[in-house]
Amino acid sequence: MDPDFRDTAVPESCAADFIRSFLTDRSKKGINNLSDIVLSVAATRKIEQIYLTEDGFSLMDKAGTAMAGEIMKFYPSREIPFVIFAGNGNNGGDGYVVGRELIRNGYRYVVVVQTVPQKSGIAAVRARERYLAAGGVQESGNGGCVDSVRISGIISSLRASGMGVPPVIIDAIAGIGVLSARPGNPDFERMAAAVREINRSGCETVSLDVPSLLNADTGVPVVPGLAVRAVMTITVFTKKPGLLLGLAGDFAGSIVTVLDQLPEFAVNARRVQEGERLYAMDYHDLEAFLPVRARCAHKGNAGRVLLAGGCPGMEGALITAGRAALRSGAGLVRTTFLSEKRDAMNFLQPEVMTGTPETLRNDLGWCDCAVAGPGMGRSARSFGMFREIFGRARTLVADADGLKWLRRMRDNPAARPENLILTPHVGEGAILADRTVSEVLDDPLGTVRKIAEGYGAIVVLKSATTMVSDGNHTVILSTGSRGMASGGMGDLLSGVIGALIAGGMEPFQAAVLGVAVHGEAGIQSEKADGAIGMCAGDLLPFIRKLLNGR
């Protein structure tokens, strides 16, 4: 990334003040704001060291007991059979503690399946001994572990013996540990075989800490497509990035945290988080930050948004963004089309004004926030339009084709907006970060921070889970609907964010809230009419209601 491009840094206070206000608001409401902090594997390891006793068992015992409590809440019937798949490390130890607690609380059918030969000299050995002393049953097979044929037989046997109640599987194979074993290694192949049997069984599965074979920092399976598919993940301390990012939505299920009430835990969590500053939020977390319209407001002080793009054949992208800006509260909205077919805007949304490239310079002086890119295209004329906007706008949201031109503008950093907000999807993020798409998926947090730092921008990296980062603070927003996998959704988001900024909201807060509202609108649209066939325009009524707290 060209270091000279960042000649105007994003003020840290923009994000820091918002995060501070957010946590303060949650605290005043009596909400455990630790649920909003996300700790990477490295930070989690640091927390573990703070609370570990000499033998390490005490912390494992607390974690496993708390996990068992959550499982018993979810599955209260004592007739339910449980099959606990244990790995060779501390995650397996958690599984043994869970098994012991289930037996102590009257569950009649509990068996632990050792999937990999257990390591010696670790706390998990003590957990196993206590499980067996409580009357627990273990299947360890030849060589200290059970093969896939035997696993299938155990599940079938419990299905038959458990009063016709299907077994529930507890996944305690790998957890957050960085797997030393890799494909081809005997231990890895044993774990992979167990994961396949778990997924093939059709049984509901609860994962302890992280679904096995899912990377706890990225949410990407170690082997493509192969990780435990859980209905619930019970994780220790705080959520992990890999439970929120990447493909986590296909594997993690609902997420519950335990051991976030240990003595001084809030202080320690924030201390180990230094340098990461990673948070998880959704629309309901952010309702206190919705915009409020003054009783005596008028269109001139409700925000003026200029949107530019709409080349021939792509007019709809700019129309969608313009309508989103209007429905998100902008007092005045103007759209500047590269196409001559700008009258379509007047027919579809007559409240939105239209401009031409010839009026662009004056319009840039008029607006509070510019949005450049929806349907802009890749012609020399579109690059000229983007260059004009980039050099003259005070605040700019760059999206779609505008991001491709932005990449080219790295060679001409003389003039740039005071506030720059970028909204790339994964493919566009790869271009901005000089990475491949695979590299972005393998390191989404590093990518969004790299783009933010390299361009001196607030970055909204869009995916199934979207991140907003200024390079110092990153918010993960687990929101949205599967139905939003359709054209125009990104154009819609850029219009929402542009309107919030034009209305006076700080850019970082506007980006976070815009993503949250956009995603929640998708959720509400799916509830109303289903995921299949959802299009960007369907979200507009919900966006308006959500911004009004309805």
Q: What residue spans define the domains of the chain?
A: 40-274, 285-547
CA proximity to 45, closest of 202, 351, 276: 276
Q: Residue 476: CA atoms inside 13 Å, Cβ hemisphere, count?
A: 28
The answer to whether the CB of 279 falls within 8 A of the CB of 33 is no
How much is the pTM? Answer: 0.88
The fourth-level CATH superfamily of domain 285-547 is Ribokinase (3.40.1190.20)
- pLDDT score, position 537: 96
- pLDDT score, position 489: 97
The answer to whether the CB of 324 falls within 8 A of the CB of 499 is yes
Task: Provide the 10 A C-beta neighbour count for residue 262.
Answer: 15
Task: Provide the 10 A C-beta neighbour count for residue 113.
Answer: 27
Multiple choice CATH, 40-274, 3.40.50.10260, 2.40.50.140, 3.40.50.300, 3.30.565.10: 3.40.50.10260
CA proximity to 94, closest of 179, 178, 200, 210: 210
- pLDDT score, position 413: 56
Tell me the C-alpha distance between 429 and 460, whole Å. 9
- pLDDT score, position 2: 46
The answer to whether the CB of 377 falls within 8 A of the CB of 356 is no
Distances (CA, A) of 528 to 435, 490, 532, 534, 549: 39, 21, 12, 10, 18
Token output for 31:
């909400």
SS3 assignment for 169-205: EEEECCCCCCCCCCCCCHHHHHHHHHHHHHHHHCCEE
- pLDDT score, position 150: 77
- pLDDT score, position 412: 62
- pLDDT score, position 146: 76
What are the per-10-residue average pLDDT scores of the chain (550 residues)? 46 77 74 74 90 84 97 95 92 97 95 89 92 91 72 75 78 80 77 92 94 93 92 95 92 94 84 81 92 86 95 95 97 95 88 92 95 95 94 95 88 77 96 94 92 95 94 92 94 98 96 97 97 97 96
Tell me the C-alpha distance between 481 and 478, whole Å. 10
The DSSP symbol for 462 reads B
CA proximity to 376, closest of 436, 311, 326: 311
CA proximity to 518, closest of 503, 502, 536: 536
